[in-house]
């Protein structure tokens, strides 16, 4: 590790931890103020404006979706490992991808890559119908149990290869992919409703991808390149198929 003056991220993490310790002594929800600080400094400060997204980020208990050993870092400005080589995304990235879906409430959303279940919980706080798929059996089982325990019963979970989507429930108003692929899976495009949005990291390297939003307009697809991101790669059929 570098030995130098603390970065802004480190200062924020320390502030979060200090608030957590103070709130814990007061009872109630010990993470409420920590989440509020996360939203203010990490999310609103970077330009996220959708009030539904901000409210979701301020209420969903992110600490419940990380391993016990990382709970004191749950609201810090970086991703965290959740097992099997996977991560829970940085809070800002979760908020950004959710805002890009442009949800108003009532939409039917498909998430590819359940992971810990955190993104699905955020989506469920914004809209009522959320479907989420995970290819790793252990993560899928844990996330399903966690979402049930926390009361997110409107989220439907499924073990399977997200490359092929969830055709029985298509079409979807929005699709979000939380792993990087070197191309957009054609089945996901086919399952996107007219006017629907697909948000996905596109890139062939593990360390650099482009967060991309694709909107279906009159049978065509409009593509927007949003920003650079870093996600774990999509596995399964995505690794075997070629653009």
Task: Tell me the three state secondary structure of residue 197.
Answer: strand
pLDDT digit string, tens, across residues 4-38: 333 444 444 444 555 454 444 444 788 999 999 99
Q: Report CA 238 to chain centroid distance, whole Å.
A: 19
**Residues 202-215: what's their mean pLDDT?**
89
User: pLDDT over 70 for what percent of the chain?
Assistant: 87
**Residues 150-170: what's their mean pLDDT?**
97
Q: What is the pLDDT of residue 22?
A: 47
Q: Look at 206 and 25; give whichever has higher pLDDT.
A: 206
> Is the pLDDT confidence value at 208 over 90?
no
**Residues 197-207: what's their mean pLDDT?**
88
Q: What is the pLDDT of residue 242?
A: 65
CA distances to 25, 48, 142, 168, 174 from 44, rounded to whole Å, are 28, 5, 31, 37, 23
Q: How far apart are CA 206 and CA 139, in angstroms?
A: 21
Q: How far apart are CA 57 and CA 79, in angstroms?
A: 15
**Residues 70-78: what's their mean pLDDT?**
95
Choosing from 89, 116, 204, 228, which is the catalytic residue?
Answer: 89
pLDDT digit string, tens, across residues 99-113: 999 999 999 999 999
For the chain, the straight-line distance linking the first and the last C-alpha, in angstroms and rounded, comes to 39
Q: What is the pLDDT of residue 6?
A: 39
Residue 178 DSSP class:
-
Residue 90 DSSP class:
P
* Backbone φ and ψ of 142, nearest 5°: -65, -45
Q: What is the pLDDT of residue 243?
A: 61
* Longest Cα–Cα distance in the chain: 56
- Lowest-confidence range among 17-31, 38-52, 163-177? 17-31
Q: What is the pLDDT of residue 1?
A: 30
Q: What share of the chain is helix, strand, coil (3-state, %, to 5)?
A: 40, 25, 35
Paired strand residues for 108: 129
User: pLDDT over 90 for what percent of the chain?
Assistant: 81
Could you confirm whether 228 is annotated as catalytic? no
pTM of the predicted structure, to 2 decimals: 0.87
> Is the pLDDT confidence value at 236 over 80?
yes
Average pLDDT over all residues of the chain: 89
Q: How far apart are CA 192 and CA 144, in angstroms?
A: 24
């Amino acid at each position: 590790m570098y030995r130098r003056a603390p970065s802004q991220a480190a200062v924020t993490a320390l502030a979060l931890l200090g608030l957590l310790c103070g709130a814990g002594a007061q009872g109630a929800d010990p993470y409420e103020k920590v989440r509020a600080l996360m939203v203010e400094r990490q999310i609103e400060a970077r330009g996220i404006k959708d009030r539904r997204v901000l409210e979701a980020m301020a209420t969903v208990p992110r600490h419940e979706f990380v391993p016990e050993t990382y709970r004191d870092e749950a609201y810090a400005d970086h991703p965290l490992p959740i097992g099997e080589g996977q991560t829970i995304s940085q809070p800002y990235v979760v908020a950004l991808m959710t805002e890009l879906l442009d949800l108003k409430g009532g939409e039917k959303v498909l998430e590819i890559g359940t992971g810990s279940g955190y993104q699905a919980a955020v989506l469920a706080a914004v809209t009522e119908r959320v479907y989420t798929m995970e290819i790793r059996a252990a993560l899928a089982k844990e996330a399903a149990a966690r979402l049930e325990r926390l009361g997110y019963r409107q989220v439907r979970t499924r073990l399977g290869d997200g490359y092929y989507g969830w055709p029985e429930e298509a079409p979807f108003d929005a699709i979000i992919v939380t792993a990087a692929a070197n191309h957009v899976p054609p089945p996901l495009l086919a399952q996107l409703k007219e006017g629907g949005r697909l948000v996905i990291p596109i890139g062939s390297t593990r360390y650099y991808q482009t967060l991309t939003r694709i909107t279906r307009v009159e049978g065509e697809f409009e593509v927007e390149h949003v920003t650079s991101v870093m996600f774990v790669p999509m596995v399964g059929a995505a690794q075997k198929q070629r653009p």
